[in-house]
Structure 1
Amino acid sequence: MSESTVASLFLIAFGVLPCFLSGYFMAINQKRGLISLWNDKWFTNPEKAANYLGWSLLLTASLLLTTAVLLYLQLISNLLVPNILVPILFIPVCGVIGIKIKYGKN
């Protein structure tokens, strides 16, 4: 196996699948208990806050999957991958900040 194939499989196994599964359970099934230290009392609308976070994780998973496919097809080089992954991985962080601003109780 080539280096890009191994990197793509690693990215899918340890990036895409966890983000997709946790995002699906939070956004679609409203399993807010999966979020550590989640307390419904901290939010004005906990359902929408969990939905917001879940969709940000689903967006992250789709972008990670796109990166993994491009890497597997060798359309991007291994040296470019960290420059792509760093902004993608800030999407859930921005989601948490957006939740705090929009739905947080002060």
Structure 2
Amino acid sequence: MQLTTAGRLGVGATTPVALLHVSGVANYTITNIPTNTYIYNVSNNTWANLGGGPVTISIAAFFNDDIYVQNSVYTSSDRRLKENIKEIDLDIERYKFLKPSSYNYKNQL
């Protein structure tokens, strides 16, 4: 474990780049007692919701390897979170190179 003079804590990282920098495998347990909702990382690296209420987990992180998520991930594109929004000037000829697709996720890797 490394604590820098800037107050950054590295667990498995000798030069932490964030307030908390974990390098390696991390297992988490999150418990929300008021709603009896429990989320945990089980041995096969999946998350399980054992309770009856919703849980919101907010994480800001940098990853340098794969991230696996079971079920769904939702991201926002809220105009209130953006600034300096400008239209992009593209020649119509460039649009013909775009290849929009539809797809379904596989249940297994």
Question: Which of the pair is proportionally richer in helix?
Answer: 1
Select the structure that is richer in strand. Answer: 2
Please classify the TM superposition score into its range, dividing by the shorter chain length.
Answer: under 0.3
How does the TM-score come out when normalised to structure 1? 0.22
